[in-house]
Amino acid sequence: MSTADLGLPVDVPSTALFTDQYELTMLQAALKAGTADRRSVFEVFTRRLPEGRRYGVVAGTGRVLDAVENFRFDAGVLGFLRERKIVDEATLEWLASYRFSGDVWGYPEGEVYFPGSPIMRVEGSFAECVLLETVILSILNHDSAIAAAASRMSSAAGQRPLIEMGARRTHELAAVAASRAAYVGGFATTSDLAAGFRYGIPTVGTSAHAFTLLHDTERDAFRAQVESLGRGTTLLVDTYDVTEAVRTAVEVAGPELGAVRIDSGDLLLVAHRVRQQLDELGARDTRIIVTSDLDEYAIASLAAAPVDAYGVGTQLVTGSGHPTASMVYKLVARAESDDPKAPLVPVAKKSSGGKTSVGGRKWAARRPDADGVAEAEVVGTGQVPAELADHQLLVELVKSGEVVAREPLDVVRDRHTAARAGLPLSATQLSRGEPVIPTEYIQGRSGS
């Protein structure tokens, strides 16, 4: 069975109620006013990156496509809306046949983005587009935040693999999405079996401290694990005394021992001591895996340590201090009338306090310098300049309601690696700074 056949990893009849009530009340009012069918363009963007971040990572696009396909108002959902008197009967009748029939364009998943980047563009009637606001933002804000943290961690880790192990630190369904986003951002494996089942991500795991504590001695615990999982297993060596545990581990498993895991203490110091001890015991190929509340800064601090892999949980699934990407979904253009051929006019909220928006249906391109390194994110309306035509970022995701851009997760992961490599070297610095390239605006006509 392919992962595409599995459906959403949630036990609900549809995604239609993953929304805010005002989406439906706006729909009802627009239907009554006769403006619901006006052709409209909504865009997802963020006004700023989290403090100190140099770039963002687009993640969750594949989940958005699933959510749009499953946005259906079945009998149970309609019954709930009727019982609560959330909308009137005319609106319920309209919702009963709802199927998104518009177009969606967006940055391909795994791509990087910057303030003002039109990460996703949703086009269709006002009625069908406005309903998707909350579910799209819910997915993109969460997954992009996790992927950005994962990207920083994978950059800090270099060629050393990262294990996602944060399921117990977040909501059970968020954990599956977080694992997927972490994989996009560069993590190699996950401990979460639901993520492995749903998305085909490689899964890993051996034992916790409880398994050692269960047995009368640490030697008994190690022997039981090795007899069950083989000499290539990973033994947890910091339940009691690390030095004694490493000695016992090699005695039990021999020099073929796969790895030892260290989950506490001064990881830099302990890793050096354990490496020396393993080498002296003849276990030169035994790897060292470290865990214990790691973030990108802790990972970077261990760059010179003899560590072979990192396991990351809490800091990853909470976005390493920034659990949302702060994306918004704004109407940027709408038709002058219900006529399908009516031209689009730019619209934008006028606001102070940093919540301004730029109206108009936008394109985006990343301008490279003479060496092919990105030097600016160019966002504009109207005609795309000829020199930027081959550097456009948005791709078609949904055409006339049909998904046209599903792709394997490994393709997305590789895309992110390439996109990050195309940025200036300072993009991977963990010191505080501004976005690594500026966003430039070119104002033209909104387009039709």
What does each of the 448 residues of the chain score in pLDDT, given as a tens digit? 344 444 444 444 589 999 999 999 999 999 999 999 999 999 999 999 999 899 999 999 999 999 999 999 999 999 999 999 999 999 999 999 999 999 999 999 999 999 999 999 999 999 999 999 999 999 999 999 999 999 999 999 999 999 999 999 999 999 999 999 999 999 999 999 999 999 999 999 999 999 999 999 999 999 999 999 999 999 999 999 999 999 999 999 999 999 999 999 999 999 999 999 999 999 999 999 999 999 999 999 999 999 999 999 999 999 999 999 999 999 999 998 888 889 999 998 886 666 777 899 999 999 999 999 999 999 999 999 999 999 999 999 999 999 999 999 999 999 999 999 999 999 999 988 899 999 999 987 544 5
Residue among 406, 7, 415, 423 nearest 184 (CA): 415
Q: 66 by DSSP, 3-state: which? A: helix
CB distance 84 to 117 below 8 Å? no
CB distance 188 to 161 below 8 Å? yes
CB distance 24 to 127 below 8 Å? no
147 Cβ contact partners less than 8 Å away, ≥ 6 residues apart = 57, 58, 59, 60, 181, 182, 184, 185, 416
CB distance 324 to 142 below 8 Å? yes
Looking at residue 168, the DSSP 8-state letter turns out to be G
How many other β-carbons are positioned within 10 Å of the β-carbon of residue 249?
A: 27
Rounded Cα gap, residues 415 and 421, in angstroms: 10
The beta strand positions in 96-239, using DSSP E, are 103-106, 112-113, 120-125, 162-164, 189-190, 234-236
How would CATH label the architecture of 156-321?
Alpha-Beta Barrel (3.20)
Looking at the chain, which residues constitute the CATH 3.20.20.70 domain(s)?
Answer: 156-321
Return the CA Rg of the chain. 25
368 Cβ contact partners less than 8 Å away, ≥ 6 residues apart = 374, 375, 391, 422
What pLDDT sits at residue 142?
98
What pLDDT sits at residue 13?
54
Rounded Cα gap, residues 72 and 66, in angstroms: 12
The structure tokens 């895309």 sit at: 415
Rounded Cα gap, residues 122 and 194, in angstroms: 30
Q: Note the helical H segments in 290-355.
A: 296-301, 314-317
Cross-strand pairs, 377: 366, 439
Structure tokens that stand for 17 in this block? 């109620």
Any idea which fold 12-146+328-442 has?
nicotinate phosphoribosyltransferase (3.20.140)
Rounded Cα gap, residues 438 and 81, in angstroms: 45
Residue among 158, 149, 150 nearest 307 (CA): 158
Residue among 100, 12, 5 nearest 397 (CA): 100
8 Cβ contact partners less than 8 Å away, ≥ 6 residues apart = 15, 66, 67, 70
How many other β-carbons are positioned within 10 Å of the β-carbon of residue 132?
A: 26
Sign of torsion over alpha carbons 165, 170, 172, 173: negative
Residue among 283, 192, 196, 270 nearest 232 (CA): 283
Looking at the chain, which residues constitute the CATH 3.20.140.10 domain(s)?
Answer: 12-146+328-442
Q: Which helix (H) or strand (E) holds 335?
A: strand 327-335
Letter for the amino acid at 302? L
Using DSSP bridges, classify how beta strands 112-113 and 56-57 pair: parallel, antiparallel or unpaired.
antiparallel
Q: Note the helical H segments in 215-241.
A: 218-229
Using DSSP bridges, classify how beta strands 395-399 and 402-403 pair: parallel, antiparallel or unpaired.
antiparallel
Structure tokens that stand for 193 in this block? 């079996």
Rounded Cα gap, residues 353 and 335, in angstroms: 28
Q: Note the helical H segments in 200-328.
A: 209-214, 218-229, 242-253, 267-280, 296-301, 314-317
Rounded Cα gap, residues 316 and 277, in angstroms: 31
Percent composition of the chain: helix, strand, coil (DSSP 3-state, to 5)? 40, 20, 45
How many other β-carbons are positioned within 10 Å of the β-carbon of residue 189?
A: 22
Measure the CA dihedral 269/272/277/279, to 10°: 180
Q: Which helix (H) or strand (E) holds 166?
A: none
Residue among 244, 260, 159 nearest 207 (CA): 260
Rounded Cα gap, residues 104 and 53, in angstroms: 28
